[in-house]
Chain A
């Protein structure tokens, strides 16, 4: 299936979890300071492994930078 990960269209196996998308984005799963939104809604860290993605979803994986 195709999803949009941080603005880029990528292929993941059908039924892939949010955790797989986080790893694909290059983020460390265990690290604090990383958060995920799927179609604009926050997915809690505790639900990353059990939340399945579906075709066409928009996934944002964010981390902290200096500034603001």
Chain B
């Protein structure tokens, strides 16, 4: 874990809250503090706005931060966000002074509603949590990026480095990932790959890619071609 965090170059680590386990507790927070990283609490495992708001308030107390990665899940098979509960929880938490970073569907309208509700960022999924299926709807993601006036973080679905690079090329401001590194055969190596991919995608976005076209376009001019017949 420590090697992977270091190799990734990340500055923020999201953490969940669970009942303390006397045998295991503490190590995660100690590690984050020792590495000088920011612990971003999340509401993973919450299915209703009420539970998510309570979890966020607990997290604020535990970590002394108003920042929260808001996650309100609709069902345990897809782990897709519940849009209705998510928006309700967002409104309550923003009113309560939280800096809300919602994990959301790749739905441009919902992203706009969340932004209107006062979110500090929107964090659309590429595909379901832990699926490693990459970015299933790059068109929606582009529309979200185009319309957003807050940062857009791709949250969930990244399977390998090219997915992270694509997210950045599409204009995301960052990526949030866990499974693709923690479940990789060599997590530290995958973390290093993710770092390179995010940096490459960021630069490529700003460099301005060439348009796609159906037919070839020669990179050398015909003019001055020697007659070798």
Q: Do A and B bind each other?
A: yes
Task: Name A's B-contacting residues (CB within 8 A).
Answer: 6-7, 25-28, 31-37, 40, 42, 44-45, 60-68
Q: Is there contact, CB below 8 Å, between B29 and A31?
A: yes
A26 vs B21: C-alpha distance when bound (angstroms)? 7
A5 vs B60: C-alpha distance when bound (angstroms)? 21
Q: Is there contact, CB below 8 Å, between A67 and B44?
A: yes
Knowing that A25-B22, A35-B61, A44-B61 are A-B contacts, what are 12 other residue pairs whose CB atoms are under 8 Å apart, sorted by A's residue number?
A: A35-B59, A35-B62, A42-B54, A42-B61, A61-B20, A62-B17, A63-B28, A64-B63, A65-B16, A66-B182, A67-B15, A67-B44
CB 8 Å contact bits of B20-63 with A (1 = contact, 0 = none): 11110110110011000001011111000000001001111111
Q: Is there contact, CB below 8 Å, between A26 and B22?
A: yes
- Min distance, Cβ A46 to any Cβ of chain B, angstroms: 10
Q: How large is the interface on B (under 10, 10 to 19, 20 to 34, 35 or more residues)?
A: 35 or more
Going nearest first, the 4 A-B pairs with the smallest beta carbon separation are: A26-B22, A68-B44, A33-B29, A35-B62
Nearest neighbor of B39 in chain A, beta-carbon distance: A64
Task: Name B's A-contacting residues (CB within 8 A).
Answer: 1, 13-23, 25-26, 28-29, 32-33, 39, 41-45, 54, 57-64, 69, 71, 178, 182
Q: Is there contact, CB below 8 Å, between A25 and B44?
A: no
Nearest neighbor of A44 in chain B, beta-carbon distance: B61
Q: Is there contact, CB below 8 Å, between A35 and B58?
A: yes
Q: Which residues of A contact B20 (CB under 8 A)?
A: 6, 25-27, 34, 61-63
- Min distance, Cβ B61 to any Cβ of chain A, angstroms: 4
A35 vs B42: C-alpha distance when bound (angstroms)? 14
